[in-house]
Amino acid sequence: MSRIYERVALIGLGLIASSMGHAIRRHGLAGHVAGHAKTAATREAALEIGFCQSVHASAAEAVKGADLVVLAVPVGAMGAVAAEIGPHLKPGATVTDVGSVKQAVVEAVGPHLPAHVHFVPGHPMAGTEHSGPHAGFATLFENRWTILTPLEAADPAAVARLKALWEGMGAKVAAMDPAHHDSVVAVVSHAPHLIAYTMVGVADHLAQVSNSEVIEYSAAGFRDFTRIAASDPTMWRDVFLTNREAVLDILGRFHEELFVLQRAIRMGDGPALFDYFTRTRAIRRGIIEAGQDTAAPDFGRGKVQP
Amino acid sequence: MSRIYERVALIGLGLIASSMGHAIRRHGLAGHVAGHAKTAATREAALEIGFCQSVHASAAEAVKGADLVVLAVPVGAMGAVAAEIGPHLKPGATVTDVGSVKQAVVEAVGPHLPAHVHFVPGHPMAGTEHSGPHAGFATLFENRWTILTPLEAADPAAVARLKALWEGMGAKVAAMDPAHHDSVVAVVSHAPHLIAYTMVGVADHLAQVSNSEVIEYSAAGFRDFTRIAASDPTMWRDVFLTNREAVLDILGRFHEELFVLQRAIRMGDGPALFDYFTRTRAIRRGIIEAGQDTAAPDFGRGKVQP
């Protein structure tokens, strides 16, 4: 793979940035990967693990001379970081981010960037429940979508270059409007996460079933929920605070729908339940056909195979 | 492994029974595995795949001479099957089941069984989203819990023998009261399944986000929900109809809890969200420590490993 940027600066060195560093270095997509994290321990880890070639105590210093700057801090911290780096950006540089919400990032970051840089917000739809610089790995983005949400005035060449970087890391890349992005992720990611957090919270304070029983007998349904509910609390707090309207809209519909099913259970309406559960099966088949998951039992966990 | 039963009869030949047949034969736990399913195609598949050594067109015929009879039909069908086989059971035989609900099975099956058999209800807490005779595999129960809910009058020797069978198939075995079992599974399995079904249903009829977008951009949270929501509709209909009170209790608490989080989002209460998400992380750690899941990113799916 050929070099796409000379110097990339990763601001924030958690799961996503460390995975980007690994992937960029593995595929030779940049001449140099610089990094900044607030804590010295994280900066040292980045150098030691090797996904950054240089680390810098301030974000302003890290972005100097970079032709790509990646904001990989929680959404709530993006505005402050943008204000700090704005005056130090190289003319013609591209600034992107990896936040899970796009309208809020556009509003928080945009005003701090000088006219001589290209701002192309982005969202890699990949992750695990682990966080921090040790959590990253080079294949995180492979065969996963990265959504870019360039504004109308964006330079097509700058967008194409960033797209090439993501494709170089193995991602599939789509472009859409920031508001539409926020609606899509409210459904496929944000509301499901909140619901998983809620269900795990309910289990946590039941009187008739002990916590140790919940943990010990955790079956497929609940076990999967707890994995989701183990994701980074800071990141998710910011997601819900900044994609508020879209998430509340989905949650409102969710309550209505759950009440319908709950009523069917209370009334003993078997046909209604059967029809509902049959419809939801079809969506699953669509996801497998779209290559977003495996049909192997139990997610293809090795130990359950025949 | 030594032989535990001479003749086992599997009534209903879906995911669980076919997995039992595979495991029993692999470990030599029975001299003969007989099977019954309603449709001829399923019976033929069972013979061809080889997890049954004989198949029978009626349940009454299949149980003849069996010292263990396993009812592996949907919970709603258990009573009728018990009525059919009751007069044909061998004196001293053990009858068990694999239903996800236990009080309803005790009530439906118990009255049809003669005094000269041992009834030991059971529930293997293992499964995948696939169903039917082709879905089974010998290692499904390995390192998973099977809960037995013997009644007070149960013969300890018959319970111990059934326990040995499950342990021979690799399961961990616990015993508890049927009512307590139903409370536990309402939390760790039934309510999470209903919630997953609901979330997938909400996504299915959104106007602003197309179904193809939901499928294409399906991220970790929603993707896991769709897997859960692809489970067998008949089985789950019966689960909700027969464990009604426990499930409705949990759903009531779930609504309350979700409203609390929803309010925190609407009010912009970041600290409340952060605290909540931090607490739920601890439960996840407990489950990994209890050996019920892997800490590998993305469930250890092969393709995302570094």
Q: How many angstroms separate the CA atoms of A20 and B197, rounded?
A: 34
- Are A194 and B261 in contact by the 8 Å Cβ rule? The answer is yes
Shared-domain flag, residues B56 and B148: yes
Q: Which of B204, B209, B258 sits opposite A251 (nearest CB)?
A: B258
| A266 shares contact with chain B (CB less than 8 Å) | yes
| B245 shares contact with chain A (CB less than 8 Å) | no
Give the E-state strand segments of A12-125 in sequence order: 30-36, 54-56, 68-71, 94-97, 118-119, 122-124
| pLDDT score recorded for residue B215 | 76
ipTM > 0.85, yes or no: no
Instruction: Answer yes or no: is pLDDT of B220 > 90.
Output: no
Q: Which of B137, B206, B255 sits opposite A306 (nearest CB)?
A: B137
Q: What is the distance in angstroms between the Cα of B226 and the nearest Cα belonging to chain A?
A: 5
B40-71: per-residue pLDDT in tens?
A: 999 999 999 999 999 999 999 999 999 999 99
B198-207: per-residue pLDDT in tens?
A: 988 898 878 7
Sheet holding B94-97, edge to edge: B54-56, B30-36, B5-11, B68-71, B94-97, B118-119
- Is A241 in Cβ contact with B265 (below 8 Å)? yes
Residue B298 lies in a domain: no
Pick from A112, A55, A49, A52: which is nearest to A86 by CA? A112
| pLDDT score recorded for residue A219 | 63
Shared-domain flag, residues B91 and B125: yes
| pLDDT score recorded for residue A163 | 98
| pLDDT score recorded for residue B178 | 96
| A306 shares contact with chain B (CB less than 8 Å) | yes
| A277 shares contact with chain B (CB less than 8 Å) | yes
| pLDDT score recorded for residue B266 | 97
Residue A121 is given by DSSP the state -
Average pLDDT over residues A149-161: 95
Average pLDDT over residues B16-28: 98
Shared-domain flag, residues A258 and A271: yes
Please state the φ and ψ torsions of residue A228, each to the nearest 5 degrees.
-60, -45
Higher pLDDT, A270 or A279: A270
Average pLDDT over residues B288-300: 54
Residue B304 lies in a domain: no
A244-259: per-residue pLDDT in tens?
A: 999 999 999 999 999 9
- Are B50 and B25 in contact by the 8 Å Cβ rule? The answer is yes
Average pLDDT over residues B128-134: 89
Q: Which domain holds residue A241?
A: 180-293
Q: For position A223, which CATH number holds?
A: 1.10.3660.10
Instruction: Answer yes or no: is pLDDT of B33 > 60.
Output: yes
- Give the end of a domain, one of A176, A196, A213: A176
Q: How many angstroms separate the CA atoms of A122 and A149, rounded?
A: 6
- Give the end of a domain, one of B125, B148, B176: B176
Show which of residues 162-221 on chain B sit within 8 Å of chain A, judged by CB atoms: 174, 180, 183-185, 187-204, 206, 208-209, 211-221
Q: What is the distance in angstroms between the Cα of A120 and the nearest Cα belonging to chain B?
A: 20
Shared-domain flag, residues B171 and B264: no
Please name the amino acid found at residue A230.
A
| B23 shares contact with chain A (CB less than 8 Å) | no
Average pLDDT over residues A75-97: 97
Please state the φ and ψ torsions of residue B132, each to the nearest 5 degrees.
95, 170
| pLDDT score recorded for residue A299 | 37
Shared-domain flag, residues B154 and B194: no
Instruction: Answer yes or no: is pLDDT of A298 > 50.
Output: no
Q: For position B71, which CATH number holds?
A: 3.40.50.720
Show which of residues 84-123 on chain B sit within 8 Å of chain A, judged by CB atoms: none
| pLDDT score recorded for residue A46 | 98
Average pLDDT over residues B241-269: 95
| pLDDT score recorded for residue A227 | 76
Q: What is the distance in angstroms between the Cα of A198 and the nearest Cα belonging to chain B?
A: 6
Shared-domain flag, residues A132 and A265: no
Token pair in block for residue A265: 């259970």
The answer for residues whose C-beta is within 8 angstroms of residue B190's C-beta and 6 or more apart is A221, B100, B239, B240, B243, B246, B247, B250
Chain A neighbors of B306, CB-CB under 8 A: 22, 137-139
The answer for residues whose C-beta is within 8 angstroms of residue A41's C-beta and 6 or more apart is none
